[in-house]
Structure 1
Amino acid sequence: MRLKTLAVATLPLALAAPAMVVAQSSSPLSQVQAHMKTVDTMTANFSQTGRTGQTLNGKLTMKRPGKVRFQYQKGVPMLIVGDGKALTMIDYEVDQVSRWPIGDSPLSVLLNPNKDLSGIAKVTRNDGQVLLIEARDPKKPEFGTITIAFAKVPSAPAGLMLEGWTALDAQNNRTTIKLSGQRYNVQVADSAFRWTDPRRRSPRG
Structure 2
Amino acid sequence: MRRALIPLLLLVPLIPGVPAARAQNAPDGATSVQLTPADQGWIGRIQDTLNGITTLKARFQQIAPDGRRTTGTVWLDRPGRMRFEYDKPSPLLLVAGAGRMVFTDSQLGQTTEIPLEKTPVGLLLRPNLSLAGDVTITGFNHANGLLQVALVRTATPGDGSLTVVLTDNPVALKGWSVIDAQGRETHVDLFDITTGLAVPQSLFETKVEQ
**TM-score tier after normalising by the smaller chain length:** 0.7 to 0.9
The CA RMSD over aligned residues, in Å, is 2.3
CA distance in 2, matches of 1:163, 1:25: 19
Which residue number in structure 1 is paired with residue 208 of structure 2?
Answer: 197
CA distance in 2, matches of 1:25, 1:132: 11
Task: Kindly indicate whether the alpha-carbon contact (under 8 Å) linking 1:29 and 1:123 is maintained by their aligned counterparts in 2.
Answer: no
CA distance in 2, matches of 1:39, 1:128: 24
Matches within 5 A, 1:88-167: 88-119=102-133, 120-127=136-143, 129-154=145-170, 160-167=171-178
SS at the partner of 1:191? helix
Which residue number in structure 1 is paired with residue 32 of structure 2?
Answer: none
Larger mean Cα displacement after TM superposition, 173-182 or 26-35: 26-35
Identity %: 25
Q: Does 1:29 align with 2:27?
A: no
Which residue number in structure 1 is paired with residue 9 of structure 2?
Answer: 11
State the number of aligned residues. Answer: 182
Which residue number in structure 2 is paired with residue 19 of structure 1?
Answer: none
CA distance in 1, matches of 2:41, 2:146: 14
| TM-score, reference length from structure 2 | 0.78
Structure 2 residue identity aligned to 1:163: K
Aligned-pair CA distance for 1:142: 2.6
Q: 1:177 to 1:6 in 2, by over 3 A?
A: farther
Task: Kindly indicate whether the alpha-carbon contact (under 8 Å) linking 1:47 and 1:55 is maintained by their aligned counterparts in 2.
Answer: yes
CA distance in 2, matches of 1:140, 1:195: 25
| TM-score, reference length from structure 1 | 0.79
Structure 2 residue identity aligned to 1:133: V
CA distance in 2, matches of 1:37, 1:147: 16
Q: 1:173 to 1:25 in 2, by over 3 A?
A: closer
